[in-house]
Amino acid sequence: MDAFWNDDLATADPEIAAAIASELGRQRDKIELIASENIASRAVLEATGSVFTNKYAEGYPGKRYYGGCDYADVVESLAIERAKSLFGCNFANVQPNSGSQMNQAVFLALLEPGDTFMGLDLNSGGHLTHGSPVNMSGKWFNPVSYGVEQGSERIDMEEVARIAREHRPKLIICGGTAYSRLWDFAAFRAIADEVGAILLCDMSHISGLVAGGAHPSPFPHCDIVTSTTHKSLRGPRSGIILWNDEKFTKPLNMAVFPGLQGGPLVHVIAAKAVAFREALQPEFGAYAHRIVENARALAASLEENGLRIVSGGTDNHSMLVDLTAKDVTGKDAEKGLDRAWLTCNKNGIPFDTRSPFVTSGIRLGTPAGTTRGFGPAEFRTVGKLIAEVVEGLSQNGPEGDARIEESVRARVSELCRAFPVYPGM
């Protein structure tokens, strides 16, 4: 048993330890531009890897189905209180294991199978859980989607109202994964009131900005707000549900447990509490505003270097780059940029004619780069580097221009060395 208690991971499992070490190297050496990713603090990582991984705590603080939950109660109560003060709402459920599960819980709590709901179309930047035909939300419920307008590539609230009047959805969802403009929560509220719908905001992507005051809050307009905690909010991989009206408390809590989940991930709840505490500090507001400032700098630099930004810019942390004019696919751009140590994902653009496996665009985000310390100057450089790689692909086809990619890689390395990630690890 000595080895069981004492061996560290490198001794106990060299293969997994090596993969983790390589992943740390990847996060250090490449520039992370995936809009849904971030770099959590050492404290968040430590809580996630804590002894709470051993604990069963089915139920809620003070009402558990297992003994020995005193400290689990401390952790979950702190997470709830901090989430409430962070987002200025009356109730919080911090148990959803993921973003998908938090949304499933809302559906389970409020809808019957077959009920009609509205969400942003996947092709316009919506999330799978907002009614995609391959997701449970689209298979067991009746999704009606709204999209962006062809010219402006923005959501047209008149059109949202028209669709809502026609279909009378029981639930309307605002929020998405690849929409870079502000959400008019008040206008969504008015539409929901008119058709008698419950209004849900899934603020997964922008919750860090909301917490830091760099994006309008979905409260008090939305009835229920869900969010992942690992994107701009910079916590562990997980989800939360927030609301103000007590009438939702029982259905939502019952939907999470016992409706969908068993024992909550107490170690992850502990890490969420840590992340919420971080987000309550004044520095977090500065970080959130910097994310937006950096996104504007990146978008401007890409445009100056000849790339088109969908909708002409961004109001948040993310943007879609349309590569159509360069005759480069999103798939090839993702691969070429990865060869140059710039990590991003291919993404469909509105009215994309290519398949989701190919696409005509890439999605870029600034949260991870902002966390490592990049400011507008660094992001302007990143925009220039991206444009160089894309130009190489445009000239030479999918294999790109090796000389350009090598030169970009050298400049990426320089930036990464100047802004180290987890220097003490």
Ligand X SMILES: *Cc1c(COP(=O)(O)O)cnc(C)c1O
- For position 345 contacting ligand X by CB under 6 A, the verdict is no
The Cα 381–Cα 393 span in angstroms is 19
Half-sphere exposure of 34 (CA within 13 A, CB side): 16
Q: Is 315 a catalytic residue?
A: no
Q: What's the token pair of residue 249?
A: 């408390």
- For position 205 contacting ligand X by CB under 6 A, the verdict is yes
**Contact with ligand X (CB under 6 A) among 135, 145, 228, 318:** 228
Closest to ligand X by CB, 148 or 404: 148
The Cα 44–Cα 61 span in angstroms is 21
The Cα 394–Cα 390 span in angstroms is 6
At residue 210, φ and ψ (nearest 5 deg) are -65, -45
**DSSP annotation string for 205-269:** TTHHHHHTTSS--STTT-SEEEEESSSTT--SS-EEEEES-GGGHHHHHHIIIIII-SS--HHHH
Closest CA to 95 of 122, 46, 59: 59
- For position 145 contacting ligand X by CB under 6 A, the verdict is no
**Contact with ligand X (CB under 6 A) among 39, 75, 99, 110:** 99
Q: Is 202 a catalytic residue?
A: yes
**Contact with ligand X (CB under 6 A) among 177, 253, 345, 359:** 177
**Do you find a cis peptide bond into 218, omega within 30 degrees of 0?**
no
Q: Is 352 a catalytic residue?
A: no
Q: Compute how many other C-beta atoms are within 10 angstroms of the C-beta atom of residue 148.
A: 24
From the list 8-16, 184-192, 202-210, 404-412, the region that binds ligand X by CB under 6 A is 202-210
**Contact with ligand X (CB under 6 A) among 32, 36, 260, 279:** 36
Half-sphere exposure of 186 (CA within 13 A, CB side): 1
- Per-residue x/- marks for ligand X, 124-143, CB under 6 A? ---x-x--------------
- 28, 84, 237, 308: which one is catalytic? 237
Closest to ligand X by CB, 204 or 253: 204
Cα Dmax for the chain: 68
- Smallest distance from the beta carbon of 63 to ligand X, in angstroms? 26
Q: Is 422 a catalytic residue?
A: no
Size of the site for ligand X (CB under 6 A): 14
- 32, 202, 223, 405: which one is catalytic? 202
Using CB under 6 A as the criterion, which residues of the chain lie in contact with ligand X when the complex forms? 36, 98-100, 103, 127, 129, 175-177, 202, 204-205, 228
Residues recognised as catalytic: 56, 58, 202, 228, 231, 237
